[in-house]
Amino acid sequence: MYRTQCVLAFLALHVGLIHGFSWDIVVCEINDLKFYYNGLITHTEYLPFTKRTTVTSIDYDPVHNRLIFAHQYAPEDHTIYSLDLVTFKTQTLFTWSSFNFLRVVYDPVTEMFFWLDAHRIYSWSIKNTTSANYATEENRLTMSNRVVNDIAVDSCGGFIYWITNDEIARIRFDGSEREVLLEEKIKERKSLAIDPQTQKMYWIDIIDYELFINVADMNGKNKKILCSVTHDLWANSLVVSKDSIYWKSDEKQAILQFPKNATLKPWTPWKSVRNPEPTQYASIHNINYYDSFQVVAAHYTIKERTQGLTGCEELKNLISDEPSSVSSQNCTDEKCVNFSVQKNCNNVTDEGQVLCSCEAGYSGDMCDVRTCDGYCLNNGICSLNKENNPVCECTADYRGKRCNVTITTVHGDNTTAKELQDLNSKVSQAVGVELKRFMKFFSNKVDEYVGNM
C-alpha cells in the first residue's frame, strides 16, 4: 500500500508541467510546507528558520508564483515573507510588531498587502520600496468596534472584506465606501474566502456545536448553506480553488473538500433533506490542535479565477504575466527554459520532449526530484556528501543508513530492534518451559485428588 502511494505521488508530480511540480493546496505543519496534489504529497519544503517560530498565515500570489506568509518569532515580532516556488528562496517583505497579529492577504492587481491585527486592518504596497520595510500605524485602513476574525480580498471590486461574530462588512482599498453586508449575531464566525470566478464569498459559522460552510453573493445577498459538520468546532483555514473549497478540520486531523458549485437542496433545521457531505482530501499531522492560524493556501491561477467572468479587466490583464506551461519549442525559448525547476535546458527532441541537465542533489525530467526528499526516515536530517550521495543524521532513537533501525534502551544498554526481538524470543521460550512444568504439576495434583475421592 505504501509503495502504491509513492508511485501515485511520483506520477502526480509529473501531471502538471508548471514550474516543476503540481499542487492543489499547500499546508504548513509547524515549519514544513507540504504540497498536495489529488490528496497526495508531491513536495515538502523545509523553511530555513533556525529559531522556534510559528507560521500564522499563508496566501498564494499566482502572478509571481510565490507564497506570502506571516512568520512569528515572538508574541510581538512578526515578519511577512515571500517564498519563490521555483527557486524556493525566501525574501523579507516587511515587519510588524503586534501581540494580536492574525492574517495577511495579497492583492495581485494593486500589489498591496492587507493584514489583520485584532480589530484593525492595515495595508501596505510593495511598490513603496524594493527592500524590507517596517510597517507603521500610518498604514491603518480601518477600525472596527468588534474583534475581526478574518479578512479576504476582492481583486475585481477593489474591496477588503472582514467578518466578526456580528457582521460581514467591506471597505474599498482607499478606505472609502465602508458597508455592512450581513448583520447576524452568532456564536462564532471565521475563515472568509472570496472567489472572483463565481463572484461569491464563503465562510464558516459555528452554531450549537455544528459547523456550517456558507456561501453568499459579494453583496451579502442569497446566503445559502453548502454543508454542515457536527462537532467540528475548531475548523478553519477555508480556501477556494478552481473547483473546490477546502478547510482544515482539527477534529478529524484532515483537510476536507467540497465542490464550490454543488447543486444545493433547500436546507431545513430538521435536516429532512441533506446536501452532499464533504469528503476527506488528505490526512494531516503536526498541526497545533485548537489553533486558529490560517495555514492552508490553494493553487488558483489568474486564468482560472477569471474563466467565464464578465468584466474585471484589471485581473484578466495579469494572465500574460503568469508562469507558462511547457511547449515543444527550442531551448532558447523562455517557456522551454522554465520547464526545469532550475531553468536548465539542453535540447528539445522532435517529439517535443525537453531534456534538462540537473544540478547536484536533483534528478528527474524537470530536475524537480530532490535527492533528499523522503530519503531519511523518522525525522532524520538528510545532506549530500562529497560524491553528492544522500547521508542521514539520525535522532537518538534511530540508526541505520536511512534511520530505519529503532534503538530501544533496556537497563541502560542500547539494544537494537533485532536484539530486542531475540531477547523477547528467549524470554518467551523460558516462560513456555515454566508454564509446561506448572501445567504438568497441576495435572498430577488433579489426578491425585480425583484418585483419593
Mean pLDDT in residue range 49-69 = 82
pLDDT level of residue 448 (50, 70, 90 thresholds): low
Burial class (CB in 10 A: 0-12, 13-18, 19+), 379: exposed
Residue 369 is assigned to a structural domain of this protein: no
- Decide if pLDDT at 187 tops 80: yes
Which of 316, 339, 357 is the endpoint of a domain? 316
Q: Which range (91-105, 174-188, 219-233) has the least confidence?
A: 91-105
Looking at per-residue pLDDT, the higher value among 308 and 355 belongs to: 308
Q: Report the pLDDT value the prediction gives residue 323, as an integer from 0 to 100.
A: 62
The CATH number for 52's domain is 2.120.10.30
Predicted confidence (pLDDT) at residue 161 exceeds the cutoff of 70: yes
* Model confidence pLDDT, tens digit, residues 404-445: 888 865 555 555 555 656 656 665 666 565 666 666 665 665
- Can you list the positions of beta strands (E) in 356-449? 362-363, 369-370, 381-384, 390-393, 398-399, 405-410, 413-416
Position 6 scores a pLDDT of 42
pLDDT value, residue 251: 81
Cell representation of residue 440: 504438568
Residues in the chain: 453
Could you give the 3-state DSSP secondary structure of residue 76? coil
Q: Residue 36: which of 220, 252, 234, 296 has the closest Cα?
A: 296
Instruction: Summarize pLDDT for 111-153 with one digit per residue, the tens.
Output: 998 888 767 888 888 766 544 444 555 566 666 677 888 999 9
Question: Distance between CA 341 and CA 362 in Å, rounded?
Answer: 10
Highest mean pLDDT among 279-293, 320-334, 347-361: 279-293
Q: Which residue type, as a one-letter code, is found at position 102?
A: L
Predicted pLDDT of residue 326: 38
Last residue of a domain, one of 291, 316, 341: 316
Q: Is residue 268 part of a domain?
A: yes
- The last residue of a domain, from among 281, 316, 351: 316
Domain count, the chain: 2
Considering the domain architecture, whether residues 285 and 432 belong to the same structural domain is answered as: no
CA distance 98 to 80: 13
Domain hosting 19: range is 2-316
Is 334 part of a structural domain of the chain?
no
Instruction: Taking residues 213-227, report their average pLDDT.
Output: 93
* Of 70-79, 89-98, 293-302, minimum mean pLDDT range: 70-79
- In this prediction, residue 328 has a pLDDT band, given cuts at 50, 70 and 90, of very low
